[in-house]
Structure 1
């Protein structure tokens, strides 16, 4: 049986040694001054900023995210020894632009936006998130109309808090995607769909591409509404505004405290293919030494009880590992294929 409250548990991250990117941490000098070890007269010295900006994108209620982001920034700043300001942008695309223009130095992105940050902004991808011991996840499709989209009986799963979540088409048992794809063939080109963000992997790229493959729909002409956040997409469908919607699995946990009936108001009926987890990118014009120190500091914060709780509050992250660049190439290919449609 599927783990009912899969986003609730916070695991302490295992201590992971990140491969050093270079740089000894010694003070760098410029011009005709003495050069530090490893420098040559032909090398250009990188001057790092005195204050860093950490950028995030909403996956929860905005006021709560701002508060949690500020707390995370403080913990990373204390570990790193450099002041960190936080900013919450309206979308991943806006955060990619902020990285490109120097308005953000550290970004927490979904997988598609991670590769966009690398390819468009010259950012370095340094870390990926872990949830439930895995560095992949999937889109969940959900509906307020199980009579149409559930091809079998609706299954109720009771959570530890006493709330009930509903599933069908085998999604209660499936730990990975895809699942329930036969039901996706029932979606038509003009079916209203609540999606998340135009730069979101699980909230747009993967489900739109899945509909093109399974239902032969034009992913660029879907009748979509971007909710601006995964919980918002859940709320859109629960309110009856849209018959189906998408989010990460299981974003209902971000809504259940305010609406204990949310798991019965929306029923999960399908999953996408597996998607590389979200992660962290740092500005490419920072020194290699500072890039590594940022990554090390973020992992170190995760290894504390307070830090683990804040990461969970921000993005339901339970661990951070060095980025799997090969796995992220799969997300890059989805983006490239989607752009070519």
Structure 2
């Protein structure tokens, strides 16, 4: 059975286009302000016919919220300023509310750099001709998993719930072997999901928040997630999916591991009240894509600049603040091809 995602994809593209029309800055018209964001610190030092290395005089950096939007604006501006200083050109941030909006911005020459999840990276390559250049490293790995979590461990925990404290003393609860960073785990518990119950997915273009878990549920439950999960909804972000389960608006949610930490400062008991009970198969980490309208030399300069930033204490702090990134390494094309196969289940049909 092939998962059909035509209606959701149409909504995403229309919404993304509307966001751009509403105010995203075009690299061809640097006088317009982006939907959200500011100019990076360093002003261009070249004449209007272009910067050194074929760089445009202004670059647009697309970021998608995985935390509070206002905080991402602040953190994104710091990253933009560091990149601006490294390259010697102005860098502005564009922060819409979905991955699809960044893909459309890349497709319509209104973004130059995109920090995207793996499925959105594939979409940017296939639909916008973008070039994948880097992938994020966390916990020493360039891959991660979907975590399934619940406020009803009595139903979904097939063994004892265990609790571990992180370095800051915050407790996080798990069961069914869903600890560490390798999947799959707890697949027997996924068979206990009632298709009519409320399930909080993240975003229609999120790998860990939708594509991978929907594919997994399709195989385990023998359903089409779009038609056979009437209570499922998109929370809009990873912390929002956790919040939905914490608040009781959903009995099961999905996110990257461990998105609960994004809410720990505000909700100290979130790690115990929201219990992780299963993992998906491994997923390539999010990464960086560049517009193919940039020259090869410009692409290399931007790639080298981001790697250089990741090699400094200040740069790592900025990357960590934006997306909890601990390092950057060359994009894993083979892993992205696997993500493309998952995404193929969500085509028009």
Residue 90 of structure 2 is aligned with which of 83, 88, 93? 83
Distance 1:291 1:224 in 2: 40
Who is 1:145 aligned against?
152
Distance 1:101 1:340 in 2: 22
Residue 217 of structure 1 is aligned with which of 217, 223, 238? 223
Structure 2: tracts of 5 or more residues without a match: 1-45
Say if 2:295 is the partner of 1:287: yes
Residue 261 of structure 2 is aligned with which of 242, 253, 276? 253
Tell me, yes or no, if the aligned pair for 1:188 and 1:217 is still in contact at 8 Å: no
Q: Secondary structure at the match of 1:89?
A: coil
Who is 1:24 aligned against?
none
Distance 1:134 1:165 in 2: 21
Map of 1:1-341 to 2, 5 A cutoff? 48-172=55-179, 174-221=180-227, 222=229, 223-339=231-347
Q: Going by fraction, where is helix more abundant, 1 or 2?
A: 2
Deviations 1:184-220 (A, max 9, x none): 0011222211011000000000000000111212122
Tell me, yes or no, if the aligned pair for 2:133 and 2:288 is still in contact at 8 Å: yes
Distance 2:305 2:54 in 1: 20
Tell me, yes or no, if the aligned pair for 2:146 and 2:280 is still in contact at 8 Å: yes
Q: Secondary structure at the match of 1:339?
A: coil
Higher deviation after alignment, 121-130 or 156-165: 156-165
Q: Secondary structure at the match of 2:79?
A: helix
Q: Secondary structure at the match of 1:153?
A: coil
Distance 1:160 1:327 in 2: 31
Distance 1:338 1:120 in 2: 14
Tell me, yes or no, if the aligned pair for 1:171 and 1:180 is still in contact at 8 Å: yes
Structure 1 residue 159: deviation in Å?
2.0
Q: Secondary structure at the match of 2:139?
A: coil
Q: How has the CA–CA distance of structure 1 residues 339 and 188 changed in structure 2, closer, same or farther, with 3 Å as cutoff?
A: farther
Q: Secondary structure at the match of 1:317?
A: coil
Deviations 1:292-315 (A, max 9, x none): 100000010011101101111111
Deviations 1:9-60 (A, max 9, x none): xxxxxxxxxxxxxxxxxx9xx9xxxxxxxxxxxxxxx965210000000100
Who is 1:4 aligned against?
none
Structure 1: tracts of 5 or more residues without a match: 1-26, 31-45
Q: Report which of the two structures shows the higher radius of gyration computed on alpha carbons.
A: 1
- If the length of structure 1 is used for normalisation, what is the TM-score? 0.85
Higher deviation after alignment, 214-223 or 263-272: 214-223
